[in-house]
Amino acid sequence: MLMRSYRSILALILALVTTCLVSCGSPAATAPPPAYTSQQVEQIQRTVSNLSELREKMPVLKTKIDNRDWVDVSTYIHGPLGSLRRTMSYLTRQLVPQDQKVASKAADDLFEHLQQINTAAENRNYQLAANNYQEALIDFDRFLKLIPDASNVAGVA
């Protein structure tokens, strides 16, 4: 008889512990996917059009590198591509926090490659300029992929 009461008490304790573990061990709430308001997306898209124009001008830089037109390479980086840093910095600040870090890294990498192209132009080093040009394109495209569009608007599935 005493053994039965111990079994009952043990079963009751195990039931309470299991109930407690199940109720306290629920999965953590997941954050909703990044979403922007339609006004934020419109503002970002207006700015990104300038950035897209600069991306479309990148082949001009490649032509200057291929022609070994070193003075024009440096001039082009500081001239038509000169507003790139400001525009990318502005856009980075408009992104959701988790995208800001990735965008900032892509922008920093792009600027580093442009600086290397400029250094290569000063040293008339075609191979260094060509390699950094390819890496700059990769970084530029990586940045552009982070820019939100209409599919990122809050409430749009």
User: For residue 149, how far is the Cα from the chain centroid?
Assistant: 14
Q: In the chain, what are the domains?
A: 37-150 (1.20.120.290)
Per-residue DSSP letter, 61: H
| Phi and psi, residue 37, nearest 5° | -75, 160
Looking at residue 156, its pLDDT comes to 44
pTM of the predicted model as reported, rounded to 2 decimal places: 0.70
Average pLDDT over residues 13-39: 65
CA distances, 41 to each of 3, 122, 131 (Å): 70, 40, 34
Could you read off the pLDDT of 69-114 as tens digits, one per residue? 999 999 999 998 988 989 999 999 988 888 899 999 999 999 999 9
